[in-house]
Amino acid sequence: MKFSANRSTLTIILITSILFVGCSEKQIPAENRPSEEKPAAKAPAENVPARAEPAELVLKADAKGKDERKEADGELKKLFDEYFAAVSSSATIEQTRPIAEKVIESNNHMMISQFAWDIMTKKNIDDAKRDYEIAIKAAAIANTITKGKDSGILDTYAMALYKTGKIEEAIATQQKAFDLAPGCKRSEYKTRLEIYKK
């Protein structure tokens, strides 16, 4: 037991040393300096609202951000539904494009990529109504946002390139998607790569 106590003490000393090595007194707030008495807390000035703690501000900003994202995602979902309802009806590509443009303008790379994928693969859509120009535009924007480093978005972009006749670009893009893919997706991406190469 004595060894454990000494080990704990050494661990605390080591962690404290690591935290304070290389820091000047100016860098370490007075209340965190070892072996120093903490200065007396100042009385709050009258009529001055208390400052929120940084953690509290982060939590509030995060909650606000989540609410805003949820609302934006809800709006995008409505646009998706509106677009695919129009495509499934008698609407023409020219009539559905303004809806598609609103989805793309969201700059939500995951939603834009999913939108492109759905345009190309969703069942119960007549091939004549599949707007591959919008699909490639959406996939290219999602790929730009992620700087070509998201294998799923690269996979979508490669399919859009292939569907618009840009075979060599599709092969190169699908190869990059395959190279970046996690193990669970490699087989699927390789199958598509082989299709593009035929």
pLDDT, tens only, 10-62: 444 444 444 444 443 444 444 544 454 445 555 555 554 445 455 555 555 55
Domain-located, residue 133: yes
Nearest to 149 by CA among 106, 113, 116: 113
Domain-located, residue 58: no
Counting the structural domains of the chain, the total is 1
- Flag whether the pTM goes above 0.85: no
Residue 36's pLDDT is 45
Residue type, 65: G
Q: Are 162 and 121 in contact (CB under 8 A)?
A: no
Residue 46's pLDDT is 56
Q: 73-84 burial, b if ≥16 CB within 10 A, otherwise e? A: eeebeebbeebb
Taking the chain (198 residues) in consecutive chunks of 10 residues, what is each chunk's mean pLDDT? 48 44 42 49 52 56 65 86 93 94 93 96 91 97 97 98 97 97 94 96
Nearest to 85 by CA among 96, 101, 74: 96
Nearest to 163 by CA among 136, 183, 144: 136
Domain-located, residue 128: yes
Residue 104's pLDDT is 95
Domain-located, residue 165: yes
Domain-located, residue 90: yes
Domain-located, residue 36: no
Residue 74's pLDDT is 85
Domain-located, residue 56: no
Domain-located, residue 52: no
Q: Structural domain of residue 101, as residue ranges? A: 70-198
* CATH code at position 84: 1.25.40.10
Residue 70's pLDDT is 73
Residue 188's pLDDT is 96
How many angstroms separate the CA atoms of 75 and 81, rounded? Answer: 10
